[in-house]
Every structure is written in structure tokens, then in C-alpha cells.
Structure 1
Amino acid sequence: MSEKVIADFVARFSLDTFDSPEPVRGRIVLSRKRLVLATADSKTTLPLSAIFDINVGQVPAELESFFQDTITIAYEDGNARRSAVIEAGSEEVSRFKTVLFKAQLSGSEARVKHPARVGGRVTDETFRPAKLRIEPGEVRFVGTETVTVDLASVTYFQRETREVGSVVAVRHTDEGQSVTSEFALATDRKLNLLGRYLRLEYSELAQQVENVDASEAEMEALVAIYSGGQSGDLAGMLGVDSSRVTMLLNDLREKGLIDEGARGLALTAQGKLLVSDRIETVNT
């Protein structure tokens, strides 16, 4: 492979072209043009342009007994549709998923309408050209104006039809407001992959916060921090004394909802998702 390799690791995998569904151990090599799955006896090359779906944690029924942490890749092989299932550690699967989506989508030509809605109000914005960038925890559309969607702030997304064709409509919070942005890509294949990426990232975050039990006081503290509040401001913002603020912050840190960054208190992705849900409920 002459092009630059962006992922190279050893894992178990199975192809539905195999005589037996039982996985084999081999090498997984990814470049910006192709994915290669190789064993000592065989090599299968998948052009990235042939991949039309990527999923995590779901495998064909006949393979369920063989795999645990997996990424399933659906691709076209001539007139046939086939799948490859790769198994690795959960962290390795998560990293590979991000790299694979980035190889598929980053740099793609896009058209952006932002904001298409503010709350329930339709705006008069038009679609503008941009280029898509996949970054950790966000998707970014770079054009005359850069539109960044923090994936932890997404509360809704759906494929819809507009004058430019099919779009993904994404509702998310932006500077404390619930807004809807609409994104179109050059091909249905890439639009499908963008929709899948959003679903996977949102589902992963939602699972992480599903069992988090935040009290009303803790939610008020999260909203205050989201609005820019720091340790010294929170007593006044929340109407409590400093000892109560210390207890609240300790509890939020233990629950993984806040972190101390270079600029002070900040919400983690899980904390942002909880606040986004709260803002969405208030704005509905």
C-alpha cells in the first residue's frame, strides 16, 4: 500500500465471503483510500468508496456467538452487498471507529444552513458551501463561517428533504439556545455515514449518562457552569453558601459531570448532554 497508513493493528475479523463464519486473526490496515484485512493466507481490500455503513456493537445474527466488542462494516462488492466484522478491545474499537469515519468524511464538500431554526422559529438563512471536518467530540463545517456542532449538545437529528436535496437536520444547543442546523453532502452514501456517526456518538454518550442521578441543585450548578460560572461565582448564582458549593462540585466531579481545565471549571461531555436535555425541555 503506497498511500499513508492511518491505522494498523491486529484483531479478529470475519467476512461473509468466508466459507465459515468463525473469525480469524489478522492485520487491519487503513489508509485514506482503502481498508485491508489480511491473514497469512489471504488479503481482502475494500475501497473506502464502497463502504456504505459502519456500526458498532451489532453483528449479523449468525456471528453473534463469535464476537464481543465489534465494528461492522457494510460494503458493496460489485452488485452484492457484503459485511466485515472486526473484533478488538472496546477502546481500540472506539478509536478505530473515529479514524474510519474521519477517513470517510473529513474534507467532504458540504452545504450548510445555520441556524435553520432558533427554537421553533424558522430563519431566512440559506445554504452555504463548506467542508466537513470530523474532530473528537464534534463535527465542524468550515466555510465563510465555521459551524461547529458539539456532539454532546445534540438533542435530535433526522434526515429530511429540502430544496438542495436530502439533508441531516440536527437540533443542538448553541450559546444556550436550542437551534437546528441543516447539512447536505455531495452523495447519499456520505450523508448516510454522517447520520450513522451522529447516532453512534449520541448513543454512546446517552448510555454513559443513563444511570447518572443528578439532583435539582446539581442540575442548577451544571447550568450555571455551562453559562460560564466558576467556583467563586456559584454561591451568588445559586443563592447558597460556599460550603454548599464545595459539596455540589465534589459530587459533580465524582459523577464525571465536571472537570477542571486550563480555563477553570468545565462540563464533561456527559455534563453537557444533561444540560442540553434541560435546555431542550425548557425551550420546548
Structure 2
Amino acid sequence: MSNTEKKIADTQGKYLLAVSQGQRLTDAEWQNCRIILTTERIALMADDKRQIALDEIDRIADRFDVNQQSAGVSEYVGFHVGEDVILVSASNHAEFETDFYRASLNGAVIRVQHPALKGGVVQNAEWTKGRLKVSDEALQVAMADGQAVTIDRADIGDLAVEDKDIGGEERAVIEVEHSEEGISVETHLAGDEFHATVLQVMLEESAEQNRADLDLSSTEKRVIMALHSGVSPFDIPNFVGIDVEKTEAIFDRLIELDVISVVRERTEVNLTTKGRRVAGERMGEQ
């Protein structure tokens, strides 16, 4: 281990070599192992020692069921490294995933545009450098211009990835919607291929957990869109064209569905993550 390499985690688990030199191994079996995670590699300590250099990981997948052995394990991480695919299942899956994100991203310097959108309106924010830090709850970005951006992983409403030209170089840009002081904002993140891959997987996982699958009426969607665009809850009846009693009934239903949250009892509400996601989907339909 080099002087700059630091141990992040040391736990028990198992691994399965699903693909070797491009060949799927349908007879592969799980091997019990000790898993050592550092800032540079994952070491799998079994009868044979296998190492995965973090910066050589091309892709990460939550499922790669090459046979019944892999399909029978509910939680693992699939690491695509060149022509190999290695599945790793730790004794505490969620803890290992967060440790892996920390090992891969903490201290990494990426390009950040914040806020790229605020309340659905495009801003004139410039791209600047930012340093990453991952915790169980959030992704934090310390920006070169002095801003500190916190993206709560339970507050991600939507996520998209687009290839864009940044300073004459085409990069994958991760567009993540979240909130600041109750207002929907969108932060854009762009890094090298490895950091972008890990960021995308981590944020997509959080966004998937927050996805709204709701059966809403057109009037309820109009109320959500009005709140999303900054209309005060007090002005919703006139803005949407419904009476106060109808508005109160809609607020009650949206609170029950966890689409809005009460800021002050019966007077003020904010969109939740689900609500902002519904608003984003509604905007895409228009």
C-alpha cells in the first residue's frame, strides 16, 4: 500500500467472477472472502487474492445474473473491468456501497454548474471547479467560488445525463434536480469518465428510490405545477381557477400522498421530492 493510499473498509463477503476475458462463466460460483476497500482498490482476499483498481472500473451494475448462483443473491455490485465482470456481495450491502462511493469520489475535483436551473428557470451560472465529499445522507460539493452545495440523496427528484461541450471538450453531464430552501434547483456535474460513472450510479440509485408513481387528476397536476413555479399556496385558487374548498381538498390528498409537506399548518406548503418529480414530468409533457 502506498503512502497516499488509505483503507476505507475491511469486511467479510463473497465474490463471483461472472466474465473472464470476455467469456461468460455460466458455471461460476461464489467465493467467500475478506473485502478490503481502499482509496485505490478493492482487494478480495480468498484462496486466491484478486484486486480491482478503482480507476480501471469501466461500469458498475446492480445486476449481472450470469447463472443461478448469481441470481440467488439479492444484493451485490457488478464491476465491469476491461473484459472481466466481478460481482461483489458484502455482508452489509448498503454500507459497502456508500464506502465504495466515498473511496471513489471523496476529494475528487469535477466541474460544477450551480444552479443551472432554479424554479424551472435557466440561470447564468458559470462552470467552476468543485471538490466532492460523500456521506450516508448527501453529496457535498465545495466549489472554487466559495459556494457549498449539498445534494441530499433522499431529495433527488429527477436525473438526466447528456453529452455537452464544456471548454471545448465533450463530457457526460449529470443533471440532478433537488431543492434548496424549498425551491427546486438543478445542479450540473461533469467529471472524468470514472468519476462520472460512479456519480451517475450513486445519484440514479437515489433518484430511483424517490420516483413518484401516482395517479393524479389534471387539476391536481396544475396545482403542483403552480407550486413548482413559485405560486403561493394562498394564490392557488385564483391561479388554477378552483374554489378554496377544492384547493384544501387537493392539498389534503397531496399531503397524504407525500407530494407536498406542510410548512405551517393549513396555510403554507412545499413540494416534496415526489412533487417536484411530478412537476418535471408534467413540464416534459407540455
Normalised to the residue count of structure 2, the TM-score between the two structures is 0.67
**Residue 62 of structure 2: aligned partner:** 56
**Residue 274 of structure 1: aligned partner:** 278
> Displacement, 1:109?
1.4
Cα contact 1:14–1:86 (8 A) shared by 2: yes
> Displacement, 1:177?
7.8
Letter in 2 for 1:100: F
**Residue 73 of structure 1: aligned partner:** 79
d(CA) in 2 for partners of 1:13, 1:241:
59
**Residue 110 of structure 2: aligned partner:** 110
Q: Does 1:192 align with 2:193?
A: no
d(CA) in 2 for partners of 1:88, 1:74:
17
**Residue 241 of structure 1: aligned partner:** 244
Structure 1 gaps, min length 5: none
Q: Report SS of the residue matched to 1:22.
A: coil
> Displacement, 1:213?
1.4
- Note closer, same or farther for the CA distance 1:217–1:121 as it changes in structure 2 (3 Å cut): closer
Q: Does 1:30 align with 2:32?
A: no
d(CA) in 2 for partners of 1:28, 1:47:
13
- Note closer, same or farther for the CA distance 1:31–1:269 as it changes in structure 2 (3 Å cut): farther
d(CA) in 2 for partners of 1:6, 1:249:
46
Letter in 2 for 1:107: G
d(CA) in 2 for partners of 1:22, 1:94:
23
> Displacement, 1:152?
2.7
- Note closer, same or farther for the CA distance 1:233–1:115 as it changes in structure 2 (3 Å cut): closer
Residue 53 of structure 2, aligned match among 35, 47, 50: 47
Cα contact 1:256–1:268 (8 A) shared by 2: yes
d(CA) in 2 for partners of 1:98, 1:88:
12
Q: Report SS of the residue matched to 1:83.
A: strand
Cα contact 2:17–2:86 (8 A) shared by 1: yes
Structure 2 gaps, min length 5: none
Q: Report SS of the residue matched to 1:130.
A: strand
**Residue 259 of structure 2: aligned partner:** 257
d(CA) in 2 for partners of 1:46, 1:149:
29
Report the aligned-residue RMSD: 4.5
Aligned-residue sequence identity (percent) comes to 19
Letter in 2 for 1:214: L
d(CA) in 2 for partners of 1:35, 1:12:
12
Cα contact 2:140–2:148 (8 A) shared by 1: no
- Note closer, same or farther for the CA distance 1:230–1:37 as it changes in structure 2 (3 Å cut): farther
- Note closer, same or farther for the CA distance 1:259–1:138 as it changes in structure 2 (3 Å cut): farther
- Note closer, same or farther for the CA distance 1:254–1:24 as it changes in structure 2 (3 Å cut): farther
Question: Which is richer in helix?
Answer: 1
Deviation per CA, 1:76-129: give whole Å up to 9, x if none: 5xxxx422213469xx54453343223212321123345678989896x65322
Cα contact 2:58–2:80 (8 A) shared by 1: yes
Q: Report SS of the residue matched to 1:152.
A: coil
> Displacement, 1:233?
7.4
Deviation per CA, 1:226-246: give whole Å up to 9, x if none: 56788877667764435852x
**Residue 127 of structure 2: aligned partner:** 127
Cα contact 1:184–1:191 (8 A) shared by 2: yes
